Amino acid sequence: MNAPLAERIRPNTLEGYLSQQHLVGPKGSLTSQLSTGMIPSMIFWGPPGTGKTTLANIIANESGRPFYILSAVDSGVAAVREVIEKAKKSDNLFSTKNPILFIDEIHRFSKSQQDSLLGAVEKGWITLIGATTENPSFEVIPALLSRCQVYVLESFSREDMEALLKRALKEDEILAKKKVTLNETEAIIRLSGGDARRLLNILELVVLSEKSEKVTITNELVMQKAQKNTVLYDKTGEQHYDIISAFIKSMRGSDPNAAVYWLARMIEGGEDIKFIARRMVILASEDIGMANPNALLLANSTFQAVNTIGYPEARIILSQCAIYLATSPKSNASYKAIGEAQQLVRQTGDLSVPLSIRNAPTKLMKQLGYGKEYEYAHNYEGNFVPHEFLPEEIKGTTFYRPGNNPKENSLKNYLTQLWKDKYDF
C-alpha cells in the first residue's frame, strides 16, 4: 500500500524545506544553530501540517545524529525509558553528537511521562525535540519547558501552498503518471486552511479520483471531489477565531440554537475540546457571573468531564453546557468590578493596609496597633458589623454594582440593608 502523498514527498534537507523562513531562512533563529551543530532541546509549537516532524527529521539528518521517534498518543513511561537507554548507549559512540528524541504531540504526555524526560535532557543523554499544537506554557511542565527553546511554526502562506502543489505534481511518481494541469488553486488552498498535509491529501484525492489520464485542477472540481470529505473549518486561522467569537456571542446573547450550531461547526472541524470548554468556563464568569453562580460550576465540571470522556461523546456534554449558559441570566458585574479595581490600583499604587485589619502574629506588631479595633463579625448580630476594609485614601469606593436580574437584585437588597448609606446602586 502506498504511503500518503505528504510522506512520499517529505524533504530530507533544508534546501527542500518550504516555509518557516523566520526559523530556517538566512536570518532564521535556528539557522546558526544548525550550521554549528549545537542543537538545543526544543519545542516546536504550531498548527497541524506546518512541518514540525519534517523539520525534526532534517535537523537529525543534517547534524548526523541518531534519531528516535515517539508518539505521545501511544507511548508510555516505559517506552520513554527504553528509548533513553538506547540513546545513552548511542551517546557513548557519538559523544559530541548526542541522539535526538522526537516526541510528536508532546502535550498529550502526562506529568509523570514528562518528568521521565527531565534527567535525560538535563544530563545531555538526549536532545529533545517536542512537537505540539497546544500552548506549551499550559501543556508542558515548567521544569521541562525551562530546559527547552520554544520555536513557533506558522501556517503555510498562499505562496508556500502553491509552491508545494507544483512540487508534488512534478516530483511524485504516482501523480506524475497522469497529465495534471493546475488551473485554479483558490478552493484547494482555502480548504486546506494553511495545513500542508491536508493540502496534499486533497490534491491526491482529486487527482486519483479522476479516471481520465488528463486532469485539470479547477475550483469546481476540487469542491466537487473534496467538499464532502473536508470540513470548512480552519482550526488555526482567521475562521477559527471568527467561529469561536460567534459561539461566545451567541451564548452571551442568550441564543441556544446559534450556540449549538457554532459548537457543531467546531466539533465537525475537529476543534480541541479543551479549547471549547475553556472558553465556556471564562464566559460563565465573565458574562453570567453572580446572575447564576452555578454556571461556573457547571462549566468547570464540563471542562473536567470532556477531558475524561473525549470525542465523540464529549459533544453531548459540550452541547448541554452551551445550552445552559445560553439560557442563563446574564451579568458582567463581576468582570467590570475587577477591571475597575485593577485600574484604581494602577492609579493609586501600593496603598497601606489599614492597621485594624493587618495580621498581628507577634507582640511587637500588636504594640504597633496591628489588628487593633478590628471587629470580629461573628460576635455581632447577623454576623455583621460595619467596618472600613479599604485604605483610607479610597474608602467608600464601589467596584461591584449588582446587575439587573433576580439573583443580583436580591444581592443588591441584601447589601443595601447591611451597609445602609455606603452603597449607592
- Look at residue 93 in the predicted model and tell me its pLDDT: 46
- The answer to whether 101 and 70 have CB atoms below 8 angstroms apart is yes
Q: How many domains does the chain have?
A: 3
Same structural domain, 221 and 173: yes
Same domain, 194 and 73: no
- Among residues 205, 226, 247, which one ends one of the domains? 226
> What's the confidence (pLDDT) of residue 375?
85
Domain with 172 in it: what CATH number? 1.10.8
Instruction: Give domain status of residue 382, yes or no.
Output: no
Kindly state whether residue 9 falls inside one of the protein's structural domains. Answer: no
On whether both 31 and 139 belong to a single domain, the answer is: yes
Assigned domain for 210 exists: yes
The confidence score (pLDDT) of residue 236 equals: 52
Domain range for residue 70?
20-152
Same domain? For 137 and 255 the reply is no
Is 125 in the same domain as 179? no
For the chain, what's the residue count?
Answer: 425
Tell me 16's DSSP state: G
Coil, strand, or helix at residue 67?
strand
CATH number at residue 302: 1.20.272.10
Q: Is residue 391 part of a domain?
A: no
Q: Give the end of a domain, one of 226, 255, 281.
A: 226
Buried-state track 279-297, b at ≥16 Cβ within 10 A, e below 16: bbbebbbbbbbbbbeebbe
Assigned C-alpha cell, 173: 511518481
Question: Which one of 326, 356, 390 terminates a domain?
Answer: 326
* Distance from C-alpha of 219 to C-alpha of 199, rounded to nearest angstrom: 14
Q: Could you read off the pLDDT tens digit of each residue along the chain, which spans 425 residues? A: 468 888 888 888 888 888 888 888 888 888 888 877 788 899 999 888 889 999 999 998 888 888 888 887 777 778 778 888 877 776 554 445 688 899 988 888 888 888 888 888 888 888 999 999 888 887 888 999 999 999 999 888 889 889 999 999 888 888 888 888 888 888 888 888 778 888 898 998 888 888 888 888 888 888 887 765 444 455 555 566 778 889 999 999 999 999 999 999 888 877 888 889 999 999 999 999 999 999 999 999 999 999 888 888 899 999 999 999 999 999 999 999 999 999 999 888 888 888 888 887 787 877 878 888 888 888 888 888 888 888 888 888 888 888 898 988 888 888 888 887 776 66
* Residues whose CB is less than 8 angstroms from the CB of residue 124 and which lie 6 or more positions away in sequence, other chains included: 91, 98
Report the CATH number that the domain containing residue 76 is assigned in CATH. Answer: 3.40.50.300
Phi-psi label, residue 386: left if phi above 0, alpha if psi -120 to 50, beta otherwise = beta
pLDDT for res 95: 47
Q: Which three cell numbers stand for residue 164?
A: 508545494
- Residue 176 and residue 143 share a domain: no
DSSP state letter for 104: E
Q: Are residues 135 and 181 in the same domain?
A: no
Q: What is the pTM of this model?
A: 0.55
Look up residue 212 and give its three cell numbers: 481520465
Exposed e or buried b per residue across 340-366, where buried means at least 16 C-beta atoms within 10 angstroms of its C-beta? eeeeeeeeeeeeeebeeeeebeeeeee
Distance CA(251)–CA(70), nearest Å, equals 40
Residues 54 and 123 reside in one and the same domain:
yes
Residues 143 and 194 in one domain: no
Does 49 lie in the same domain as 25?
A: yes
Does 257 lie in the same domain as 215? Answer: no
Residue 270 falls within a domain, yes or no? yes
| Amino acid making up residue 76 | G
In a domain, 371, yes or no: no
On whether residue 372 sits in a domain, the answer given is no
Do 147 and 78 belong together in one domain?
yes
Examine residue 93 and state whether it is found in any structural domain, yes or no. yes
